[in-house]
Structure formats: structure tokens, C-alpha cells
Amino acid sequence: MKRISLTINGVQRQHIVPEDRVLLDLLREDLMLTGAKQSCDRKGQCGACTVIVNGKTVRSCLKKVTALEGAEVITVEGLGTPANPHLIQEAFVLAGAIQCGFCTPGMILATKVLLDSNPNPSREAIQHGLRHNLCRCTGYAKIFEAVELAGRFLRGECTPAELRSKVDDNPMGVSHSRPWSMLKACGLAEFSADIDMPGALEIAVVRSPHHRARLKGLDLAEAQKMPGVIGIMTAADIKGANNMGLGDNQPVLCSDNLPVLGAAVAIVAARTKKEALAAAAAVKLDCEVLPAMRDAHAAMADGAPEIHPGTPNICHTAGQIKGDAKAALEKSAVVVSGNFYSPLIHQAPLEPEATVAYLDGSGEDAQLVVIGRSIWIHPHAQMIQDAVGWDNVRYIEAFAGGQFGIKCDLTSEALAAAAALHFQQAVRYIPSLEESMWITPKRHPFRMQTRMGADADGKLTGIEMEMIVENGAYMSIGPNIIERALAMLSSGYNIPTVEVDAKLVYTNDAWGGAARGAGPPQANFAVESCMNLLAAKLGMDPYEFRRINTLQKGQTTSNGQEADEWAFSGCLDRLEPYYQKAQKAAAAHKSGTIRRGVGLAGSSFGVGEPGDVSHVAVEIDPDGGLSIYGSVADPGEGNDAMLTQLGAHLMDLPMEKIRLITRDTETTPDSGISAGSRQTYMSGQALVKAVDALKAAMAETGAKTRGELEKAGKPARYMGINTMSHTGMDLKTGQGKVWDAYCHGVQMAEVAVNTETGEVNVVKMTAVVDPGKIINPLAVTCQIEGGMDMGAGMALREEYVHGETVDWNSYKFPRATNAFEMETILLETPRDHGPLGAIGVGEFTLVPTHPAIINAIEDAIGVRLYSMPATPDRVLAALKSTDG
């Protein structure tokens, strides 16, 4: 132990610390300065823990406190407050650089150090200054703009007041700042791991180290004797159904079948996390290790054992039949084929898993309270209730550090709830990043053997596809992933005949779940690749080929749904001058080591699924404001802004008079999941209906206030319900109306390929998007930019290998140094049924990005890549195969 004197946020302090104590733990655990975040298991890989020490950026997870004698430390809490923010914090809010906000404190402090030393940095200097700081939401573009804006503020060139939206600005169509963005900029937004729960037990989970095994027994004796251990629970201690998955085969704790590396078998509760982890490591597993089937080919092989005994490994089949594709392809002037592969991909939210659970009350009347980062709190509360066998479960959603579909599934919550109930004490479950990667669903791998044809005039004739989707070990939403892929298979194009045979296959690998786009991104890779292959075979320009094959009003999609509106062609038309300019620029770089290419891809993304329903309530407040109630999660996409701006517009109120109550099952109706770009379309329209009911009551009674409404015998609160009543798609034929509306867009990638190293750099992405009526242009642009960055990662560098991918160095999603220029052009074609004509955009945004980039690579070097990601090794191998 050593006594250290230092200054933190202007306050002189003394601390007696052990030699291995790092600054991050001192700040978060001792001083409750939780603005500094922990993402990378204290490896210095993420920058979320960045603070300033003696005027320089320091990753506090690496810095020993014993090395800080006399140091001056500044955390984000010491920079400014919501009432008196620093100009850099103002700039991040106004530029739209804050989405989930998990990375924001570290970004802001890194920016301060950069601007202190270089008041007017170049874009390259900004990238270098933020090279240690990761962001998964934004694509870095708005962060770079925030740094530049902060420089302008600090140089006195403009002020925040000049850029803030005004009180009398129309709530609709204006880029108002998000409701919680300043709280996040000041490090005060409370994420799950930030919650102080004095006296809570820390839990650790004992997990299988094998990809496939049978559990024969557990030896707990040594672990139970270890210091600080309160107890150990197994599957036998769970009183409920012991299932936490969306299917019926994912136990909270396993007792026999261990189908995947990381399957949970026991929970250790201890006084400290260190003690819990030590005891968990001491639990001995007696396992019969079995041969693992890590991919679909192995799992489908003759004689392959069933991964879940009694259930075939081919666990779901679906198809799509429109006309006679086989006959159409036989008559086609040109046919192309390919075996396309989209790998297992991690959604990679920066925040690891974290859950707090406790019993509120005593005895059988106690309420089991779970605090986590769900985007579907009402169903998840019910799932926890069923899993652990407790009738009264409340779920509170903390701020979440991104999710991108990963929190459609229960992960850490059921384990924490089971432990709180069993040990009858509050518990915290804060798994490492590595463990978080083990226990969360991923984007499904797709293998797509595809044939696609066109006639001599360049018109598409049909497509055949054998689609094999690797489900992984547990059932989540695999069948829905296939259905979504089929229902958007034709994208924005008219494909007259379609025949698809799709299989979902269990494997001994990480299980697939929701991931941004959820099915269409994988299928679109094959379709858009074939579009380019056909254009080349016909000697047509890829843009012109897409233009003449764009679906027209009255024609039908691959699932037979008639296009009653189709803004896709308008997006393509708007892109044309950008495409012509990019083609001319690339033409000058078709030889030599660095070669340039241009690629296109599009998407028509459906929203409003059959049977979907959302409930939103409104209440007129005593001060004349409006409270909006709905379980509308916002882990970064902007739902809070959507509800606030829409509510203010509908009631003709200033935005500060709108109050959101959205994160608690006890105070909200069920608004459905925040996924699939559904919240704007579904909950936004439910809000419209609720306000209409309130306004009708006020008009009927002549009331203008809550008091007058109640005096007239009317309630102050009204519910809006938005329901999708169409019937959906037949699973055998893949025909039927699936979507109530579509978001349309096209993207263009410009890339530079090094033919000696195989390295691919995205130079620029250009997106033209029509998301209907736009509520907040900046929020829409931010979603598009973040999606394009994620799509670029999918195209070039991201692939998850279960058991080998363990941190942010081994999972290579884009860094600030990989950032590229982005340009977004927004079109507005109001839709018939969305709130004031609006629909969602967040899921759509990456669907065209990766195929556009892969197409651009081929344009640059004449080589087609059929598997992603296009790593340097794969690019070089493809080049060598054409040479030989």
C-alpha cells in the first residue's frame, strides 16, 4: 500500500492504494466519478476511460495510481456541467456527435488536449488525436465536425447561441439537439455499470470451456471455501422454467447439454468481484467432450449428431416462389452465379454487458427489480419472470452504450435475476468484454448459392438461391431473420421470377440473433453482387443496369407485394451526377499500385410487420405540458428526440414542455421493441393517435387545461394503439404482404485498392435516402453515417470467431483512422401511414454499404470477391488467382 497525493478536478486528495490500483478504479469505485467508462477489460484499447493528466490524455485503465504523485487529473465531470458546459461539450451536442454517449466523455477529453495544443487542427490531425478512442455509433464524421466546431468556438469565430435551435423553431424538420445529449456530454448519464448499489453481491458465472460437451458433474467444494464466497447456485436451484432464450433451448444454467463454448453452468456470489471470479475459476467441471460441428456443412453431414437431442440440426426451412425462375433462367440471354458468404459478425456495442438485480420488499410480495440495457423491457420482464419463477418482475432500462440488435435477447439479466432471488440479496453482474462476447448473439452467417439472369435488353429475368443460414447453438430469431431476408430479397428492383430454398441450421457456435438490418444485409450482398456481374456480362454500365431494373409502381416485390409507392427510383436519379463525377475521378487511377473504383448498391427496407403493435400514452400536465409514456428504448438512434419533437408539434408546445417517461415497465405501456426501424413508424403513430384522443376530449369539453378537463369529467391521460393488421407471408411460397411501408436509398462507394498489399481504403461513401417525412434531419444523417461506417467494417475487416475474438484488438471494427468522407442527400416523400408521413431509417443504413464497397473493389482491380470481409490477404489471393 502507498499514500498518494494528487489533485482531481481541482480538489486536492490523498489516497492509500495498493500497488496495482489503476486510476480508472479509483475514479469509478472510490470517488463515483463514472464518466470514465470501462469497455476493453483494462487493456487500453477503447479510449472510453480517457482522462487528462498533467495536460495529456491518459487511458486511466492502464495508469497506476502510484505513478500519479502530485499529478493534476481532470475527468469529464471536472470540465463542465449541464448548467455550465465547456464549449467542447456544447460543440459535441450541437454537431450531433453524441448517440449512445458511452464513448463521449473520453472523446471530449481527448479533444480538449488536441485543441489545447493545436487550436485549428486539420482533419488528419483530428484523426490522429482521436486514434485511441473508439466509437461504434457515429462513423466518426460528426465527432470530427464537433472537434472542428469546438475549435471555432474557442477561437471566438462563433458562439453556441448562434447555432442552437430557437424556442419558436418548428419542432418538425429541425435539427434540435437530442434530449439527453448534454447529460451524456458531461458524463452524468447513468449506464448499468455506473449504478451504485451499496452492499450488493458481485456474481461470476462458471461457463463451459468446450464448444460441445455433456456435463457429468460439478465439484464445488474448493470454490465454496474461498474467501468472500456467499454461495454457489446451479440449475437445480432455479425454480422457474430455466429458459432465457426466445426459443425453448437456452437454459439460464445448463445441467446436461453444453452446446456452445461459454454455456453457463453455475453462479458464484461473493463480496467482491475479484473474489467471485477466483471462486468461479476454482469450480471443477466434469465434462464428456464431444466433437463440435462449427459450421452448417458439418452439422448437415450424414450421420451428424443432433446438437439438441430430439431436434434436427436443420431446425427451420422456408422458401420463396414467384413464377418459374428455373424456366426464366434457361431462356435468359445471360446468367451469372456465385457462392456468396457473409460471416459471423459481432454487433460490437462499446458497452459490455451489465445488470443489477434486487428484491424490493420482502416475502412473496417482493418485487424483483432488474436494471439493464434491454430494448424490449416488457417481454423481457415476462421472460425473466418465467425463467426464474417469480411473479412480480420490474425491468428498468438504464442508458445503454449502443446495441444494434444485440439486446433483442436476454443475456446477463436472467442470470442476475436468478442470483438475486436465490441469495435474497442485491447483485451486480458485470462480465468482462470477453465474456460479454461469449454470451451475446451475433449476426447470422449466410451461405448463398445464387444464379441470376437477364435478357438481351438488360431486364432481369429471375433469381435462384439456396440459402443456408447458420443459427449457432441456441434459437433466437433465426426464422424471422430468414423471413426478413426473403421479404426484402429483391430490394429496389423488379425481379419477375424467384425461387429460394432456405435452411436454418444449428451449429456449435455463437448463436445468431438480431443485428442491424437483421437478414437483408446478408442477402443483399449476393443480389447486389449479381447485379454487377450481370451488368458486366451484358457490357452495360452498373448504374444504367440498375436504373432500367428499378421496380415501378404497380409491379411486385419478390414476395409478391405490390409497390403502392416506390421512392427508390428517385434516389437513383438523384445519385446520377455524383456517380458520373466519381467515375471520371476513378478513371484516372486504373493502373499502377493504387487503383480507384466506384461501386453501387441500394435497398428498399420494409417497416410495419404483420401483427406488430405499439402502445403510447399521453397525459396533459398541471403546468400545461405533455407527458409521453411508452417503453421506447433509445440506445443511441434518436427515439427520445423523435417522441419529443413529434409531441411538441402535435400539441403546439415548446419542446421543454414535453416530458418523456420511457424506461420502466412499472410506468410505461408496452411500445414494442426498439429494433427493425419500427419505433418512429409504430410508436410515433401511436403517439399521434393518443394526442388525437386527448385533443378530441379537450374539443368536446372546451377544456384548455388539465383542471378544466378533469372538472368536465374527462381523464387527463389517453392511450394510442397502433396495430398492423395485414396477414403476412406464406412460409412455403414466400408470398404475401409483409411491410406497411418502405425506406428507400442507394449508396455509392469510392475505394482505393493497393495491389501490392491488398489493402482497401474507402475514400468516400455517398448516400441518397428517402425516409419519408423527416422529423430531425441531423438525427437521420447521423444514423446513415453510423450505418455506412458499420457496413464498411462488414465489407473490409469484421469477422467474429467464437473463442478467439476476445477484445477490441481481435475484433477489428473501424477506428477513427479508418474514417472516410461521407455525403448524405435526404429526399422526402411522405408515406401514407407513418406519423405525419415519417418512417424509420436506422436499420436500412448499412444494407447497401458492404455490397457497394465490394462492387467498387471489383471496379478498381477487376476481381470479384465472393466472401466477406475483403481483408488484404483475401484481396491478394483473388488477384493472384486471376493472374494464374
pLDDT band, very low/low/confident/very high, at 845 (cuts 50, 70, 90) = very high
Looking at residue 165, its pLDDT comes to 86
Looking at residue 731, its pLDDT comes to 85
- Residue by residue, DSSP assigns 792-813 as HHHHHT----TTT--STTTS-P
Which one of 189, 209, 239 terminates a domain? 189
Q: What is the average pLDDT across 771-784?
A: 97
Which one of 78, 108, 134 terminates a domain? 78
Q: What is the average pLDDT across 844-868?
A: 98
Q: Does one domain contain both 43 and 151?
A: no
Beta bridge partners of 219: 284
CATH number of 225's domain: 3.90.1170.50
CATH number of 19's domain: 3.10.20.30
User: Which grid cell is 90?
Assistant: 456544447
Instruction: Say if residues 756 and 602 touch (Cβ distance below 8 Å).
Output: no
Which residue in the block uniquely carries the three cell numbers 421496380? 551
pLDDT at 725 over 90: no
Q: What angle do CA 135, 136, 140 make, to 5 degrees?
A: 55
Looking at residue 642, its pLDDT comes to 98
Q: Half-sphere exposure (CA, 13 Å, Cβ side) for 752? A: 12
Q: What is the average pLDDT across 863-875?
A: 98
Q: List, for residues 346-359, the tens digit of each pLDDT value.
A: 999 999 999 999 99
Looking at residue 727, its pLDDT comes to 82
- Residue by residue, DSSP assigns 745-792 as EEEEEEEEEETTT--EEEEEEEEEEE-BS-S-HHHHHHHHHHHHHHHH
Cα-Cα-Cα-Cα dihedral sign, residues 572, 576, 577, 582: positive
Distance CA 628, CA 718 (A): 10
pLDDT at 883 over 80: no
CA proximity to 445, closest of 494, 391, 507 = 507
Q: List, for residues 565-613, the tens digit of each pLDDT value.
A: 899 999 999 999 999 999 999 999 999 999 999 999 999 999 999 999 9
Q: Does one domain contain both 777 and 850?
A: yes
Q: What angle do CA 853, 675, 506 make, to 5 degrees?
A: 75
Q: Does one domain contain both 574 and 688?
A: no
Looking at residue 833, its pLDDT comes to 86
Instruction: Say if residues 598 and 579 touch (Cβ distance below 8 Å).
Output: yes
Helix 777-796 and helix 141-154, axial crossing angle in degrees, nearest 10:
130
Distance CA 273, CA 202 (A): 5
Q: Does one domain contain both 474 and 563?
A: yes
Looking at residue 166, its pLDDT comes to 81
Task: Say if 35 falls within a structural domain.
Answer: yes
Could you give the 3-state DSSP secondary structure of residue 570? Answer: helix
pLDDT band, very low/low/confident/very high, at 814 (cuts 50, 70, 90) = very high
Distance CA 269, CA 273 (A): 9
Q: Quick check: pTM over 0.75?
A: yes
Cα-Cα-Cα-Cα dihedral sign, residues 677, 683, 686, 692: negative
User: Which grid cell is 378?
Assistant: 416488457
Task: Say if 539 falls within a structural domain.
Answer: yes
CA proximity to 587, closest of 578, 579, 577, 597 = 597
Which residues are catalytic, by number? 843
Q: Beta strand pairing status for 626-629 and 821-826?
A: unpaired
Instruction: Say if residues 259 and 802 touch (Cβ distance below 8 Å).
Output: no
Beta bridge partners of 342: 446
Residue 176 lies in domain: 87-189
pLDDT band, very low/low/confident/very high, at 437 (cuts 50, 70, 90) = very high
CATH number of 719's domain: 3.30.365.10
As separate numbers, helices (DSSP H) first and strands (DSSP E) second, the chain gives 24, 28
Query: Which helix (DSSP H) or strand (DSSP E) does residue 612 occupy?
Result: none
Q: Does one domain contain both 420 and 493?
A: no
Q: What is the average pLDDT across 396-413?
A: 96
User: Which grid cell is 252?
Assistant: 439460464
Query: Which helix (DSSP H) or strand (DSSP E) does residue 266 occupy?
Result: strand 264-270
Looking at residue 169, its pLDDT comes to 83
Task: Say if 196 falls within a structural domain.
Answer: no
Q: Half-sphere exposure (CA, 13 Å, Cβ side) for 112? A: 26
Task: Say if 337 falls within a structural domain.
Answer: no
Looking at residue 564, its pLDDT comes to 86
Helix 141-154 and helix 87-95, axial crossing angle in degrees, nearest 10:
140
Which one of 42, 61, 78 terminates a domain? 78
Neighbours of 467 (CB within 10 A): 25
pLDDT at 884 over 70: no
Q: Does one domain contain both 494 and 602?
A: yes
Q: Does one domain contain both 434 and 452?
A: no
User: Which grid cell is 755?
Assistant: 495491389
Instruction: Say if residues 210 and 289 touch (Cβ distance below 8 Å).
Output: yes
- Name the average pLDDT for the chain: 97
Look up residue 184 and give its DSSP letter: H
pLDDT at 481 over 60: yes
Q: List, for residues 681-722, the tens digit of each pLDDT value.
A: 999 999 999 999 999 999 999 999 999 999 999 999 999 999
User: Which grid cell is 287?
Assistant: 465434462
Instruction: Say if residues 587 and 595 touch (Cβ distance below 8 Å).
Output: no
pLDDT band, very low/low/confident/very high, at 168 (cuts 50, 70, 90) = confident
Looking at residue 447, its pLDDT comes to 99
Task: Say if 841 falls within a structural domain.
Answer: yes
Distance CA 364, CA 424 (A): 12
Q: Does one domain contain both 852 and 756?
A: yes
Q: Does one domain contain both 285 and 384?
A: yes
Looking at residue 425, its pLDDT comes to 98
Q: What is the average pLDDT across 55-79?
A: 98
CATH number of 163's domain: 1.10.150.120
Q: Does one domain contain both 542 and 590?
A: yes
pLDDT band, very low/low/confident/very high, at 882 (cuts 50, 70, 90) = confident
Q: Does one domain contain both 493 and 419?
A: no
Structural domain total, the chain:
5
CA proximity to 77, closest of 179, 162, 194 = 194
502: phi then psi, degrees, rounded to nearest 5: -115, 135
Instruction: Say if residues 465 and 546 touch (Cβ distance below 8 Å).
Output: no
Q: Half-sphere exposure (CA, 13 Å, Cβ side) for 538? A: 27
Task: Say if 565 falls within a structural domain.
Answer: yes
pLDDT band, very low/low/confident/very high, at 361 (cuts 50, 70, 90) = very high
- Residue by residue, DSSP assigns 4-62 as EEEEETTEEEEEEE-TT-BHHHIIIIIS--TTS---SSSSS-S-TTEEEETTEEEETTT
Instruction: Say if residues 745 and 729 touch (Cβ distance below 8 Å).
Output: no
Q: Does one domain contain both 699 and 640?
A: yes
Task: Say if 307 falls within a structural domain.
Answer: no
Q: How many residues does the chain have?
A: 884
pLDDT at 167 over 80: no
